[in-house]
Amino acid sequence: MNPNEKRKFSDLELEEIFIDMLTVERGLSLNTRLAYRNDLKEISLFLKSHANSFLTAEERDIRDFISQLHSRGVSAKTIARKISSIKQFFRFLVSENIKSKNPSLNLDRPKGESKIPQVLSESEVSLLLEKSMENSSPGGKRLYCLLEILYATGMRVSELVGLPLSSLGKNFSHIIVSGKGDRERFVPLNDTAKKALEDYLAVRGQFLIKSKKKIPSANVQLKWLFPSSSKNGYITRVRFFQELKRLAIECNLDPKKISPHVLRHSFATHLLERGADLKTIQQLLGHADISTVQIYTRVQNKHLKKMVEKKHPLSAIKVGVGKN
């Protein structure tokens, strides 16, 4: 079971966790983060006035909050922004296994919120992997292993950093991932990822704390595939994200466009482009509903459109040429 599922967070703690993610993983500006924070504080106060909280809120509570915004005469544009904030917040809580059900799932999606996922090209992913592989230090081998597993499996970053050592299959042929709702899924590893894993495991002991007086203890760390001195005993998503940003800069890639989630989107998109079916991608990503992965067809369609515009012989003909 994910350790987050047993912990009871306060609304303020959940706000801070979400804002930290927006800061580190998305690189949002101070003003944008402040807007998110204000939206969350407003709904938190509303829930508290009804003896409720983020952890206990259900769909009817969120709809009651939206209804009172309308009754107060709040503009449609502002309400749309608040709904967007709420949906992203609760989607994040569910993805982190902090909350089992998303109470905002069935809210009407504001216009313009459904964006095509940002992805890297196959050459950009290869550049990141090749550059990472050049670093033969223990930290370099760990980062390369994290990247290879992430791109080979498309797992969520929270699933990746929190992998128990026991999740590894025989001869590292696969990983058993415990995802949302404690649903387990079988994820195969390719030969490159298996080699990266073998090389990392040879230096894994260097990330274990030697002193039992420190927290977490060595016994706690031993459980995890990627142990560290963090409170939970494994490498944090923030630390992984920081290392990924640094690597992007070394590759002369825009660090603002690169994150573990972008690599997850890239994994799915590249599979689709190479002929994988949506059902397979759904199972690998750990989505309960196939409709969730249909957005990747939009990425593929966008890519095809660009290719036609670039490669089609008529694309070079300017509109209007030859008119009388």
* Catalytic one of 99, 180, 194, 237: 180
Record the tokens describing residue 33, joined without a space: 């983060």
287 included as an active-site residue? yes
Tell me how far apart the alpha carbons of residues 164 and 177 are, in angstroms, rounded to a whole number.
9
Check 185, 223, 287, 298 and give the catalytic one: 287
The per-residue DSSP string of 38-49 comes to HHHHHHHHHHHH
Rounded CA separation 143/102 (Å): 32
* Amino acid occupying residue 228: S
Q: 91 an active-site residue?
A: no
Active-site pick, 82, 99, 261, 270? 261
* Distance separating alpha carbons of residues 178 and 159, to the nearest angstrom: 7
Task: State the DSSP string of 254-314.
Answer: -GGG--HHHHHHHHHHHHHHTT--HHHHHHHHT-SSGGGGTHHHHHHHHHHHHHHHHHSGG
Per annotation, catalytic residue among 99, 131, 264, 270: 264
Tell me which residue has tokens 């482009």. Answer: 273
Q: Which amino acid is at 284?
A: L
Residue among 82, 141, 156, 194 flagged as catalytic: 156
| 237 catalytically annotated | no
Known catalytic membership, residue 200? no
What are the catalytic residues? Answer: 156, 180, 261, 264, 287, 296
